[in-house]
Amino acid sequence: MIDSRNTGPVPTNPVAHWDVTLPDEAATGRLAMDLAAMLRPGDLVTLDGDLGAGKTTLARALIRELAGDPELEVPSPTFTLLQTYDLPRQRVVHADLYRLGDPSELDELGWSEQTDGAVTLVEWPERGGIAVLQPDRLEVHITLPTGGSETMRRLRLFGFGRLAGALFRMKSIRALIDQTGFGPAQRRHLQGDASSRSYERLIGPRRNAILMNAPRRPDGPAVRGGKPYSAIAHLAEDVKPFVAMARGLRERGFSAPAIYGGDLEAGLLIIEDLGDEGVLGGTPPVPLPERYEAAVDVLAALHVLDLPASLPVAPGIEHHIPTYDLAALLIEAELLLDWYLPHCGVSLAADARQSFRQLWAVALGPALAQKKVWVLRDYHSPNLMWLPNREGLARIGLLDFQDAVMGPPGYDLVSLGQDARIDVPESLELALLGRYAKARREADPTFDVRGFAASYAVMGAQRATKILGIFARLNHRDRKPAYLRHLPRIWNYLQRCLAFTDLEALASWYKDHVPAPEARPRFEAGVRAPRAAARPAAPAGAPPAPPGPTTDATPETPREPDPT
């Protein structure tokens, strides 16, 4: 069941509290799971209570959850005072200050250096005084209830600063997990994207599920016409578009995740777990042709349908799918001007920028005039799952479609055939194009292959242009230089698409103003240095595509929040 009621905003008060009764050790483990999911590097958790109240028991369970290792040895720091753990996702400091003689002794322990940027758990925090406390902290007060069983504990949790809102959200997540029948499930963090969304696998006794934690996207600064970038580019602000699109796709026979329950206002969903098997295989990963062909069949089948521009979310709530209009496509393309060109040390004159916009407006015109379909917008290998126990089109599981728009059909196909993070052999790309065109012509003999080829090229050029800007931005603004390794691949895609005859004027502008990225090939086992590739013969029925080089490089796992 999806809760469409307004559950209220996360409180802005600097303090939030939650009273919890733990009847047994299993309940203590569930609380540790919830806390581990909430905590971030730099957070402080203080634990106080009488001797034997269970401070160390909770701390030990929490450290094991943070480590993802239920067998991790967690000795009590009673005598050492400090115990540190370098875990995969963060560093943890466990302190027991019972034997601390004076707060000044913290300096001798190197307290500031040890706890800087770590998740810090402190037993007997009152012995350290104000030197231990910090604005973002969670206080856990543990008592033994009178007349209760030996295993029962009562806890009062107080969140301060960032952890006030985090504690409020933790309560909402636990309530949803319990309401959907996954209360006993183990929570396991999943590698997500670079956005504010996060994901966990709920491992239950009968079935698994995915917890999608997607707080409402805050508006950024106004960049044009009083609107932020996200509004102009039509990026989802909450989970309602995901729910609408998931249901719309499932109703048409496609394998989007089922929605088991959710809190729309809180941005929380529990959805079907489509597993871990994707459309790549091997080390390093390479496309598996059979699975890519099935993914193309999904697009061809989707694009022949008459697709509505509005879908229901919950009773009384509709999601209107935005149009992938000229304003959205242009502001995405301008990421090249705002981030990639400065990355290359290029300063662009105002008239050149204006010419860029005018050339793109002309180039995009024919694609925008085509019949609009649902553009899922992130239709590439990280978001396509392989479901071998299903048949036909249902073998492809679909993820990450909350930013879907109504737009040209070529966009999702080029997202698949020109993957930003992994090389798709050009021969496979051409085969996929031919397979798609054949399927569309079989469904509609009037399908315009030449027009689709032009749309494929222009949407591919727009997408590559945008991604060059996004990856440069990830390096400069977000300090994620690993994305720069993909720039040569994206550049080659761009050149391939700009070679299409209809884009001659735009190609000339790029030649005059946009330098190629600095090539820094990685020579690793199984990875070849970038090289020019001969163009294979196009399969029968394939739309024409311009020749161009291709590269091979190691794929990267993180994903940028903007659609690519």
For residue 219, what pLDDT is reported? Answer: 81
Sign of CA dihedral 3, 8, 12, 15: negative
Q: Which of 169, 220, 562 is nearest to 402 (CA)?
A: 562
Q: Which ranges of the chain have pLDDT less than 50?
A: 5-12, 194, 521-563
Phi, psi (deg, nearest 5) at residue 23: -75, -25
> Residue 54 in contact with residue 142, Cβ under 8 Å?
yes
Whether residue 161 contacts residue 11, with contact meaning beta carbons closer than 8 Å, is answered with: no
Q: Write out the E strands in 197-278.
A: 198-203, 208-213, 222-224, 227-228, 259-263, 268-272
Q: What is the DSSP letter of 325?
A: -
CA distances in angstroms from 136 to 93, 126, 543, listed in the order given: 16, 17, 57
Convert the pLDDT of each residue in 180-214 to its tens digit: 999 999 999 987 554 578 999 999 999 999 999 99
Would you state the pLDDT for residue 539?
A: 34
Helices 25-38 and 55-67, axial angle in degrees (round to 10): 50
Q: To the nearest 5 percent, what fractions of the chain are helix, strand and coil?
A: 40, 20, 40
Token pair for 169: 């959200």
pTM of the full structure: 0.86
Tokens coding 545: 């595509």
Beta carbons within 10 angstroms of residue 177's beta carbon: 25
Amino acid at 418: Q
Q: Which helix (H) or strand (E) holds 407?
A: strand 405-407
Q: What's the confidence (pLDDT) of residue 546?
A: 34
Distances (CA, A) of 299 to 347, 381, 393, 484, 540: 40, 14, 9, 30, 19
As a whole number of angstroms, the distance between CA 164 and CA 119 comes to 16
**pLDDT (0 to 100) of residue 1:** 64
What does the alpha-carbon distance between residue 140 and residue 47 come to, in Å, rounded to a whole number? 5
Calculate the CA 257 to chain-centre distance. Answer: 16
